[in-house]
């Protein structure tokens, strides 16, 4: 009983870790089989399978074996990284729930956003201990009482797990809604960024136009400055010409005075 409760707790913890990821992820495929179709007594039942595509990180598969009297074994089995293979051995007849009948093996796995599940069956025949033939009725009554107790305890544990899983599902629904809201907000931000980018491109184009105009104006001003320099040069040349004319006039005046003196 304690072992089954502990294993159930491990299974719940695995669902807490793997459940949110698996809920939003894709579905992988799984193979599952036992090493025989039927068993009896305290037989070793080997369960094996493969996850495809193989996970690239450490993960576990939850294997639950259930008969007509309830679960007889629940365990968490590691999956080979890169191979996807797993193997687990159950010893039949380990508790009072091992009664003759058909048993179902369920394997559930989740990791890296993927999930996979698979079931297989086998038959089991219980073997009565030697010397119990004469007390068949008493033994049956005792076993039935034990089964009732175990089933009731397991039912309570499973009810608790179901409640916890319902809470997890509710949290996942809230998370999904929040993700949708965040996605919408991100879309709005992206649209605003694109609009701002377009505005900046228009401003850059205007700046380029102004820069081109300034460059043309600078060239024009440089031409005007060059022309002004040329005009200044003409002024200098006019000054030189004026000085030359004045000099010629002075020289002519002097020449005339000299001629008059000689004649007298």
Q: Is residue 229 part of a domain?
A: no
Domain-located, residue 191: no
pLDDT of 110 strictly over 50: yes
Q: Quote helix, strand, coil % in the chain, to nearest 5.
A: 60, 25, 15
* Cα of 223 vs its chain's centroid, Å: 64
* 252, part of any domain: no
Residue 1: pLDDT above 80? no
With a cut of 60, say whether residue 72 has pLDDT above it.
yes
pLDDT, mean of residues 150-166: 70
161 has pLDDT over 50: yes
3-state helix/strand/coil string of 73-138: EEEEEEECCCCCEEEEEEECCCCCCCCCEEEEEEEEEEECCEEEEEEEEEEEECCCCCCCHHHHHH
Residues of the chain above pLDDT 90, percent: 36
- Decide: 99 and 146 in contact? Cβ < 8 Å: no
Q: What is the pLDDT of residue 153?
A: 58
Residue 188 is predicted with a pLDDT of 81
Which distant-in-sequence residues (6+ apart) come within 8 Å of 102 by Cβ? Answer: 67, 68, 121, 122, 123, 124
Query: Which one is predicted more confidently, 214 or 202?
Result: 202
Q: Is residue 32 part of a domain?
A: yes
Structural domain contains residue 45? yes
Give the Å distances, CA to CA, from 77 to 7, 94, 101, 104. Answer: 11, 19, 25, 17
Residue for token pair 């809201």: 181
Mean predicted confidence (pLDDT) in 96-106: 95
CB 86 within 8 A of CB 59: no
Residue 223 lies in a domain: no
According to the model, what pLDDT value does residue 54 have? 95
pLDDT at 7: 55
Residue 25 pLDDT exceeds 70: no
Computed over every residue of the chain, the mean pLDDT equals 77
Please state the pTM of the whole predicted model.
Answer: 0.43
Q: Is residue 243 a part of any domain in this protein?
A: no
Tens digit of pLDDT for each residue in 170-179? 777 777 777 7
Write out the residue range of the structural domain in which residue 57 sits: 2-181
Q: How many domains does the chain have?
A: 1
Rounded (10°) angle between helices 136-263 and 2-24: 30
Residue 17 domain-assigned?
yes
Q: Where residue 121 sits, what CATH number does that domain have?
A: 2.60.40.1930
Q: Which of 139, 132, 11 is nearest to 64 (CA)?
A: 11
């Amino acid at each position: 009983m304690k072992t089954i409760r502990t294993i159930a707790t491990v299974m719940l913890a695995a669902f807490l870790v793997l459940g949110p990821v698996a809920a939003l992820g894709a579905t992988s495929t799984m193979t599952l089989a036992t090493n025989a179709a039927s068993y009896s007594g305290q037989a070793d039942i080997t369960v094996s399978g493969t996850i495809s595509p193989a996970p690239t990180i450490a993960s576990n598969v939850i294997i639950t074996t259930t008969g007509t009297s309830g679960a007889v074994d629940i365990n968490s089995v590691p999956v080979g990284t890169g191979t996807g293979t797993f193997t687990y051995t159950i010893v039949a007849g380990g508790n009072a729930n091992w009664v003759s009948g058909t048993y179902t093996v369920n394997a559930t796995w989740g990791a890296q956003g993927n999930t996979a599940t698979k079931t297989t069956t086998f038959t089991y025949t219980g073997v009565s201990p030697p010397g119990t033939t004469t007390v068949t009725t008493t033994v049956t009554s005792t076993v039935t009482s034990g089964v009732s107790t175990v089933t009731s305890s397991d039912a309570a544990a499973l009810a608790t797990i179901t409640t916890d899983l319902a809470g997890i599902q509710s949290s996942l629904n809230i998370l999904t809604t929040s993700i949708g809201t965040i996605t919408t907000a991100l879309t709005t931000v992206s649209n605003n960024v694109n609009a701002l980018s377009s505005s900046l491109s228009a401003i850059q184009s205007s700046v380029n136009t102004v820069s081109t105009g300034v460059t043309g104006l600078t060239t024009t001003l440089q031409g005007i400055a060059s022309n002004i320099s040329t005009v200044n040069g003409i002024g200098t040349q006019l000054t030189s010409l004026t000085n030359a004319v004045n000099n010629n006039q002075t020289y002519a005046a002097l020449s005339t005075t000299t001629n008059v003196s000689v004649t007298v």
